[in-house]
Structure 1
Amino acid sequence: MVIENNALKILNKMTAIEPEIQEMVRESSLNAELAQLIYTARKQAGLTQAKLADRIGTKQSVIARLEDADYEGHSLSMLQKIARALNQRLEVKLVGNSDRLQ
């Protein structure tokens, strides 16, 4: 989408000289991506937040928090529980930061 592309260009230009802001944007993007992955996987499994919570032994409010793009407390153990409850497996990769300023 053109508007989204333009917004990303503006954001990139604004943060190009501020490494701290770049890092904050990266972290926020990762949190939003994790939240979306959890939400999408849960919906594809046909589960409500309450049903997923029951499967992993927690409360619906915890699932709601995990699906919030602003949430910063994702843990590997919780993500693993969610993956197992959804009959999936969790993959974690470390990749190089070719776009990161040295």
Structure 2
Amino acid sequence: MPSRTKSKGLQSLVGEFIGTAPERVASFEKACDELEIGVKLNRMRTEAGLSTRALAQKVGTQASVISRIEQADYEGHSLSILRRVAAALGQRVEIRFHPIGERPAKP
């Protein structure tokens, strides 16, 4: 069962619906990673008090691009656009690699 689930109820649901099949676990982990990127970008943008249009102007792109990269099911995150968005928000991108199925501790 993927280790990113914290509550016992959620662990039970994930165990029942995802199980331990490697391809299902990998798919679940990928979906969680994509969701995490979108949530973090949305949170940083809203904490900065910026609309998608205002951030897009700072980045030099369209508001639809910002909206798309904040969506949980978006798979087209490029390092280039993530760096541009991060810079516009006064942040930097940091990439780490961890073994599959192992989630890093939250800072």
Q: TM-score range by the shorter chain?
A: 0.7 to 0.9
Question: 5 Å matches for 1:8-87?
Answer: 8-87=11-90
Unaligned runs of 5+ in 2: 1-6, 103-107
Runs of 4 or more above 3 Å deviation? none
TM-score (norm 2): 0.81
Deviations 1:34-75 (A, max 9, x none): 000000000111100001001111100111111111111111
CA RMSD in angstroms, aligned pairs only: 1.6
TM-score (norm 1): 0.84
Q: Distance in 2 between matches of 1:22 and 1:63?
A: 28
Larger RCO (CA within 8 A; separation ≥ 6): 2
Task: Output the amino acid matched with 1:30.
Answer: D
- Aligned residue number for residue 3 of structure 2: none
Structure with more of its chain in helix, by fraction: 1
Identity %: 33
Task: Output the amino acid matched with 1:90.
Answer: V
